[in-house]
């Protein structure tokens, strides 16, 4: 590993911050924190922290000694001075005299001594930084160091590699006790360049930002050299894989269904996860290894990963294309076993806790699929992504640890202590979960007014989205603005629909709600109509709905979690308008299609419902159509749009609200909801 310190860059940043009145050392602290945070081999998703001790003026203008330490919620890769809140140092140092300090009291003291009361919470490792009488302190969970400290004889190896230049701290849970322990180890020999924390990570010290940073790079390089001395990376002897390994798109919905639990409060509801797939030669070598059952089930490589990935991943059987039914059975059995073991682990360890802990959901956050790769899982795409990053990193660490000797993790009790830390427990239940959290919605005709409004409504309700539209540019732009998956697809093309669902499954894990919305109006007097036009309209306004619903049902049944099929029908299906035969006829067939799906798949928990909207601006009604119709009736455009019982114009957002209602109405199927401002002739009876 090479130092990325660059004097020109460092000075430029310091000069830029100086204009904003930021202390030079704080600016350089920001610079080297970013260097650390930008390398995933050093720091991953909040897995490290840095500090500097300064003299700053408080709000009254008095000079005080402070510790500027990484604040929670900031990512080191793009940290700013505001991400290193200043805490008065003297009160922090006083704490060292205490015998015991509860975690929540520690947080309170730290907050109470912030120079800026509006600043973020200082890191949970703040006291460790404070108790060390050195100016710059850098902390990472560097991969190479973890490969050394996660060994049965890790301490011996570290003493050889670091030869007295680093103090060795035995494992203690982060917080007050670790801070005191680390300070005591430092005081044995204050000349050390840093501390190695067994089963946890590394600290380095410096009189300036560059020294602390470059000592980190040198120490990690020494660990890398020690790993390389063992020769080439160990290749795990592999199992024999099925001749044809199943695709990610086939495997993901089965895994997703297996990794869901019933929501006990609401019949028909499940707690579901979003999936993020990863593969690489290193991942494949690991998951295909004959001993994967041993080395993958030992535990996390550094304790704070347990909050993101749980202690161990779910291990799947190799998925065989020729026998997906067997894989389905085996995957569900494997997940059931995982859930049972997790519940037993919680009960066993919680028995010692006073007050008792609140159980987290028992679902895995990482799954290993031999022949394919790994899946990160989470309640959102973001969480799944973090779990996948950490899992990929853990594979690198464990692979090297196994090359060096034998990977060893903390005991179950110590991992439980971390997973159920009071500071983590305090965060539970603070933010109410959104109604569609963990769910995946696929919306067709997404680039149109109703499709886009529905996409926004579903995104705001917490769903992850796959947006489908024929207009590639428009759907990609919309998807990007909503953080969604954008899929260019013509729903009248069987192969394209199949591919869109496969992509949705591969990228997100499956599908829970489908809004079959794509449609277009064809006009013509029914007695003089060319068959070609009627067939064209049937292709889009009926067959496309059937094609999309059929593909959705296949995925939903593989998951076994029910689902919602929602169709944009039209008031035309009930109340035909003159010259709208080519549009109304297939829509009437689609209305029957909704009922057919409701009838045949209710047993699978799959609901089928329709929304009948009318007179929605920039839906099917173009500007010209509105103008000509208003003129034909001798009313203003506005009066035309409000020509309903309530006298109110119907918007795309009103239609979206009806779809959203049906996505969550677990006891309703075969229903049609009218969104037309009131039209007795179109009322259902
Ligand atoms: Zn740490």
The CA-CA-CA angle for residues 204, 208, 209, to 5°, reads 70
Helix (H) or strand (E) holding 488: strand 485-488
The CA-CA-CA angle for residues 228, 234, 240, to 5°, reads 165
CA dist., res. 309 & res. 365, Å (int):
5
Pairing of strands 366-369, 270-271: unpaired
Helix (H) or strand (E) holding 182: helix 176-188
Distance 141 CA to ligand 1 centre (A): 6
Helix (H) or strand (E) holding 217: helix 209-229
Distance 315 CA to ligand 1 centre (A): 27
Distance 429 CA to ligand 1 centre (A): 25
Class of domain 440-614+650-676: alpha beta
Distance 541 CA to ligand 1 centre (A): 57
Categorise residue 605: left if φ over 0, alpha if ψ from -120 to 50, beta otherwise.
left
Distance 556 CA to ligand 1 centre (A): 41
Distance 366 CA to ligand 1 centre (A): 21
Domain 248-426: CATH architecture, name and number where available: 3-Layer(aba) Sandwich (3.40)
Distance 140 CA to ligand 1 centre (A): 6
Distance 667 CA to ligand 1 centre (A): 47
Beta bridge partners of 168: 196
Distance 123 CA to ligand 1 centre (A): 10
Distance 139 CA to ligand 1 centre (A): 7
Distance 203 CA to ligand 1 centre (A): 9
Distance 286 CA to ligand 1 centre (A): 26
Distance 258 CA to ligand 1 centre (A): 33
Q: DSSP code of 680? A: G
Distance 276 CA to ligand 1 centre (A): 26
Structure tokens at 604: 């699978």
The predicted pLDDT at position 428 comes to 67
What is each CA distance from 112 to 75, 95, 170, 175, 570, in whole angstroms? 23, 13, 31, 17, 60
Distance 462 CA to ligand 1 centre (A): 31
Distance 168 CA to ligand 1 centre (A): 15
> Which candidate, 305, 301, 299, places its Cα nearest to that of 412?
299
Distance 47 CA to ligand 1 centre (A): 6
Go through 438-452 and write b for each residue having 16 or more CB atoms within 10 A of its CB, e for each that does not.
bbbbbbbbbbbbbbb
Distance 71 CA to ligand 1 centre (A): 14
Q: DSSP code of 73? A: T
What is each CA distance from 108 to 92, 122, 373, 456, 540, in whole angstroms? 11, 10, 43, 39, 61
pTM of the model as a whole: 0.94
Q: DSSP code of 246? A: P
The predicted pLDDT at position 232 comes to 57
CA dist., res. 66 & res. 57, Å (int):
9
E-strand ranges in 89-181 read: 136-140, 166-169
Distance 490 CA to ligand 1 centre (A): 50
The low-confidence residues of the chain, meaning pLDDT below 50, are none
Domains 7-228 and 440-614+650-676 share a fold: no
Distance 43 CA to ligand 1 centre (A): 10
Helix (H) or strand (E) holding 663: helix 652-664
Radius of gyration of the chain (CA): 30
CA dist., res. 433 & res. 454, Å (int):
20
Distance 636 CA to ligand 1 centre (A): 68
Which CATH fold topology does 7-228 show? L-fuculose-1-phosphate Aldolase (3.40.225)
Distance 70 CA to ligand 1 centre (A): 12
Helix (H) or strand (E) holding 78: none
The predicted pLDDT at position 422 comes to 82
CA dist., res. 654 & res. 628, Å (int):
24
Distance 200 CA to ligand 1 centre (A): 6
Distance 305 CA to ligand 1 centre (A): 10
Distance 232 CA to ligand 1 centre (A): 29
The predicted pLDDT at position 623 comes to 86
Domain boundaries, the chain: 7-228, 248-426, 440-614+650-676
3-class DSSP state of 44: coil
Distance 396 CA to ligand 1 centre (A): 18
Phi, psi of 239 (to 5 degrees): -80, 170
Categorise residue 201: left if φ over 0, alpha if ψ from -120 to 50, beta otherwise.
left
* Location of structure tokens 């997790």: 342
Distance 225 CA to ligand 1 centre (A): 23
Distance 229 CA to ligand 1 centre (A): 27
* Location of structure tokens 């930002």: 209
**pLDDT tens, position by position, 577-612:** 899 999 999 999 999 999 999 999 999 999 999 999
Structure tokens at 677: 């401002």
Q: Using CA of residue 667, residue 669, residue 671, residue 676, what is the dihedral sign?
A: positive
For every residue of 338-374, DSSP letters joined together read: HHHHHHHHHHHHHTT-SSPPPPPP---SEEEETTTEE
**pLDDT tens, position by position, 621-657:** 888 889 998 999 999 999 999 999 999 999 999 999 9
Distance 238 CA to ligand 1 centre (A): 34
Beta bridge partners of 205: 137
CA dist., res. 211 & res. 205, Å (int):
7
Distance 328 CA to ligand 1 centre (A): 39
Q: In what order do the strands lie in the sheet with 373-378?
A: 274-278, 373-378, 366-369, 314-315
């Amino acid at each position: 590993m090479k130092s990325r310190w660059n004097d020109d860059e460092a000075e430029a940043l310091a000069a830029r911050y100086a204009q904003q009145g930021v202390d030079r050392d704080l600016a350089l602290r920001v610079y080297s924190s970013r260097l650390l945070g930008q390398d995933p081999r050093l720091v991953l998703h909040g897995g490290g922290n840095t500090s500097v001790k300064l003299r700053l003026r408080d709000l009254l203008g008095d000079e005080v000694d402070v510790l500027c330490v990484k604040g929670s919620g900031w990512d080191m890769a793009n940290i700013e001075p505001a991400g290193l809140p200043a805490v008065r140092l003297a009160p922090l140092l006083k704490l060292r005299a205490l015998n015991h300090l509860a975690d929540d009291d520690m947080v309170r003291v730290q907050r109470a001594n912030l120079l800026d009361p509006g600043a973020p919470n200082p890191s949970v490792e703040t006291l460790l930084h404070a108790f060390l009488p050195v100016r710059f302190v850098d902390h990472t969970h560097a991969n190479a160091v973890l490969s050394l400290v996660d060994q049965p004889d890790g301490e011996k190896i570290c003493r050889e590699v670091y030869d007295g230049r680093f103090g060795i701290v035995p494992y203690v849970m982060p917080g007050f006790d670790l801070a005191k322990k680390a300070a005591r180890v430092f005081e044995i020999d204050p000349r050390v360049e840093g501390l190695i924390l067994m089963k946890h990570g590394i600290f380095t010290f410096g009189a300036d930002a560059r020294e602390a940073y470059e000592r980190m790079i040198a120490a990690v390089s020494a660990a890398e050299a020690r790993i390389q001395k063992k020769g080439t990376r160990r290749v795990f002897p592999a199992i024999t894989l099925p001749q044809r390994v199943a695709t990610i798109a086939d495997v993901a919905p089965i895994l997703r269904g297996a990794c869901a639990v019933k929501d006990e409060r609401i019949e028909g509801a499940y707690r579901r996860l979003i999936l993020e797939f990863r593969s690489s030669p290193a991942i494949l070598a690991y998951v295909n290894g004959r001993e994967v059952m041993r080395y993958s089930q030992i535990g996390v490589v550094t304790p704070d990963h347990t909050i993101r990935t749980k202690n161990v991943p779910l291990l799947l059987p190799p998925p065989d294309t020729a026998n997906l039914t067997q894989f389905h059975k085996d995957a569900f059995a494997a997940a059931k076993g995982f859930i049972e073991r997790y519940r037993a682990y919680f009960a066993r360890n919680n028995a010692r806790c006073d007050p008792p802990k609140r159980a987290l959901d028992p679902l895995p956050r990482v799954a290993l699929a031999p022949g394919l790769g790994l899946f990160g899982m989470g309640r959102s795409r973001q969480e799944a992504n973090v779990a996948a990053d950490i899992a990929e990193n853990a594979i690198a660490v464990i692979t090297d640890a196994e090359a060096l000797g034998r990977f060893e993790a903390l005991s179950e009790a110590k991992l439980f202590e971390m997973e159920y830390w009071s500071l983590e427990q305090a965060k539970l239940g603070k933010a109410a979960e959104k109604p569609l959290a963990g769910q995946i919605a696929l919306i067709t005709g997404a680039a149109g007014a109703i499709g886009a409004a529905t996409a926004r409504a579903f995104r705001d309700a917490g769903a992850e989205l796959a947006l489908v539209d024929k207009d590639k540019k428009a759907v990609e732009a919309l998807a990007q603005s909503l953080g969604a998956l954008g899929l260019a697809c013509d729903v009248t093309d069987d192969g394209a629909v199949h591919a869109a669902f496969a992509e949705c499954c591969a990228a997100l894990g499956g599908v829970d709600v489908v809004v079959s919305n794509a449609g277009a109006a064809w006009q013509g007097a029914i007695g003089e109509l060319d068959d070609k036009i009627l067939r064209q309209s049937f292709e889009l306004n009926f067959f496309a709905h059937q094609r999309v619903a059929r593909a959705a049902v296949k995925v939903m049944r593989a998951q076994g979690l029910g689902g919602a099929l929602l169709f944009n029908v039209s008031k035309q299906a009930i109340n035909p308008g003159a010259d709208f035969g080519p549009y109304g006829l297939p829509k009437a067939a689609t209305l029957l299609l909704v009922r057919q799906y409701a009838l045949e798949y209710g047993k699978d928990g799959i609901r089928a419902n329709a929304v009948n909207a009318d007179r929605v601006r920039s839906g099917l009604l173009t500007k010209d159509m509105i103008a000509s119709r208003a003129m034909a009736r001798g009313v203003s455009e506005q009066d035309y749009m409000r020509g309903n019982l309530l006298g109110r114009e119907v918007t795309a957002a009103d239609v979206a609200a009806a779809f959203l209602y049906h996505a969550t109405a677990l006891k309703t199927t075969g229903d049609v909801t009218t969104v037309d401002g009131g039209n007795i002739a179109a009322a259902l009876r």
